[in-house]
Chains A and B, each alone.
Chain A
């Protein structure tokens, strides 16, 4: 397997720059996810690595070899497409064999590789069928098989699970994780689904508006989001944001909400920009309903999820936040509650959306 290096790569469509001087190193054997909303440039970046889009600036290296001038087939990567992109008129066997035939692989070797891939993906009984005779899940396995038989330097997945139903998506996700553990192949996985990114990837590249917002492990991204965008995009429900006035509390910042209640954060006060407008960011699981809670409010909506309930609470100053009540919640819409915030997990964000965290 090979590392992938992107060195100041840029991409323009006409006069519109969709990727601007992006640099990133994907280590050999790493499973990395490009996460972001539609139109953020993640698929374009993947296609640039695959060779399906030209590169207007910078370099792409795979396994140390510069490839950005090479055609897709010469880059040694395999791609799994969102809509499978199987050859409809060929049998599954021929779909898997097509790429190998094109590089002159001996017949016996082709048969051996297909047999091995079919065994791993449990599609041996489908080899003589055509894609039209397969279910969505089976087609996806064949698409993965087509990549697998090529024994590529890296696997590129372009939203491969988005066409599957919810149950199948979860199952395929687990299978992909298992497959990566077996192959230890360098893998790039493009998705807009934060759950897929969090559960599969060893590192996540969060992208927004054609630029990288943050690169980090899933828990880094979740626990220490670099920007307000990342904090909002990752995690469900989204992080709560409330405007605050900050005071120094022995070197740490205390954030006063609009209704006068205070959240004592562990964010160093000296790191904060002086006089800036700030907002506190707190995840729902860090806000609990407690009788001795400092923040009074009224429950407007209770979303019961079984093991926990998300409470949408209107505060005294008119702002709202989402709190989490674990177990079987007795709270009803309309109830007056008091909320306690776990200040140590709170973050502060400046007007530009930049985050300030507690020291690690």
Chain B
């Protein structure tokens, strides 16, 4: 009796949770749907009223206008180079650092690890002037390394990989040591393949972060040919864009977000797992 009551209770509880989740999803999706609809509307109609979004005419002109903007493909390419560069760099450095913190025994290891974690608490804005000065002195602004390098110091990445390496039983390393594997081989052939779920999580977050980054590329890249897509699109917006070119603005937003959307489509499984994992831990 009690058991069946519990099951019924659980059923109702599940429905309430499901309804809440659906509601939150709708609230979250609405602005995106709104942006998408507006992006297909002629700017002239939106100037009169955005309520016109609910009825035709619809147009692709806002999107064709984007392609006519000189440099948009260059900006896409720049974003791709920067995002891939940051992602690959973070994966390599965080894996090496994570392995070191998790497995190597050296003096001051714990102190250094805490210092790295403190990096999580330092906002980018707090260091951006000093960083700008350094790259200025090195005459590196308007280069890929200037946009990529600051993004490689990922305290989160080091922390994530350290925890992941720590979770792998040391027996595995020891078995490999008895199997005559060198330290590098143990890292490369035995442990690194076991961290692929963490690599996927970190890679996705790093890619999305780099793709969406605006502040540092805006400061470092002053020449249009070095703009990333976020900086480039923003540069095309006039002072009256929100009143005179709202549809175009919305199309730009959708366009800039498309690669992220594609990444999400392909790596949905890992993103969900990563977010769920973060919630649990």
Chain A contacts to B: CB under 8 angstroms: 50-52, 71-74, 77-79, 81-89, 98-99, 102-103, 146, 150
Contacts and interface: CB of A to CB of B under 8 A. Distances in A.
A85 B194 contact: no
Interface stretch (B92-100, B172-180, B213-221, B249-257): B172-180
Contact of B174 (A85, A89, A102): A85
Contact of A99 (B172, B180, B193): B180
A85 B169 contact: yes
Nearest to A156: B178
B95 to A, nearest CB: 15
Chain A interface main SS type:
loop
Contact of A52 (B177, B180, B185, B193): B177
Given A83-B169, A85-B172, A99-B180, 5 more contacts: A78-B178, A82-B171, A83-B171, A98-B179, A102-B185
B177 A87 contact: no
A169 B172 CA distance: 23
A81 B171 contact: yes
B174 A81 contact: yes
B190 interface: yes
Given A99-B180, A102-B180, A79 B193 contact: no
Nearest to A143: B175
B174 A73 contact: no
Given A85-B172, A87-B172, A88-B194, A99 B178 contact: yes
Nearest to B196: A89
Interface residues of B, number: 15
Nearest to A100: B179
Nearest to A82: B171
Given A87-B172, A89-B193, A89-B194, A50 B181 contact: no
A150 B179 CA distance: 9
Nearest to A150: B179
Given A87-B190, A89-B193, A89-B194, A102 B179 contact: yes
Contacts of A85: 169, 171-172, 174-175
29 contacts: A50-B174, A51-B177, A51-B178, A52-B177, A52-B178, A72-B174, A73-B177, A73-B178, A73-B180, A77-B178, A79-B174, A79-B178, A81-B174, A81-B175, A82-B171, A85-B169, A85-B172, A85-B174, A87-B175, A87-B176, A88-B172, A98-B176, A98-B181, A99-B178, A99-B181, A103-B180, A146-B175, A146-B179, A150-B179
Contacts of B190: 87
Contacts of B180: 73-74, 99, 102-103
A137 to B, nearest CB: 18
A227 to B, nearest CB: 33
Contacts of B179: 73, 98-99, 102, 146, 150
B176 A71 contact: no
B195 to A, nearest CB: 10
A50 B185 CA distance: 19
A81 to B, nearest CB: 5
B173 to A, nearest CB: 9
Nearest to A84: B171
Contacts of A73: 177-181
Question: Which 9 A-B pairs have CB atoms at the shortest separation, nearest pair first?
Answer: A99-B179, A73-B180, A85-B171, A102-B180, A85-B175, A72-B177, A89-B193, A72-B178, A81-B171
Contacts of B185: 102
Nearest to B175: A85
Contact of A102 (B169, B171, B172, B181): B181
Contacts of B176: 87, 98
B181 A79 contact: no
B183 to A, nearest CB: 10
A83 B171 CA distance: 8
A233 B176 CA distance: 35
Given A83-B169, A85-B169, A102-B185, A71 B177 contact: yes
